Amino acid sequence: MQNMNNTENDMFKQISDWIDNTLINNSMDNIVAIAFNLYDDGNNTWSLEMVGTSEFDIDDSDWACNEVSDFGTRDNPFVWNAESSWEDILQSVSTILKKYLEEGKNADRLKMLEGIGVGFVDGDIEILYA
């Protein structure tokens, strides 16, 4: 479990490191898209996992259910504490992931996929890249 300072630059660096470390030892074979799943764990604790899917459909968010791999992130999610609404958490994480897709170490590798999205696991998915 990673602990985070709530400044956005610190959070960007920590999420970037988590993504990079996740991708180091994981194949992208058979993966068409990535969904970043957010969870409200209660008590101002939030977590993020990254799953690879076998489908992508910009018009049908069910693509995120066609999971091929969780890259080990289900057992090792990115976890942090923040006193925020779920809407603010989604906005903050979306902003950080968009920045990662512009300047992150593995941004080009991720942008070779058909799509990338983020959302709470029981909600809508915001498409970050297609």
pLDDT, position 7: 72
pLDDT digits (tens, 9 = 90+) for 91-126: 999 999 999 999 999 999 999 999 999 999 888 899
Q: pTM of the full predicted structure?
A: 0.91
Domain boundaries, the chain: 8-124
pLDDT digits (tens, 9 = 90+) for 33-85: 999 999 999 999 999 999 999 999 999 888 999 999 999 999 999 999 999 99
pLDDT, position 1: 43
Beta carbons of 9 and 30 less than 8 angstroms apart = no
Structure tokens at 37: 């799943």
Structure tokens at 9: 């630059």
Does the pLDDT value for residue 4 go beyond 70?
Answer: no
SS3 81: strand
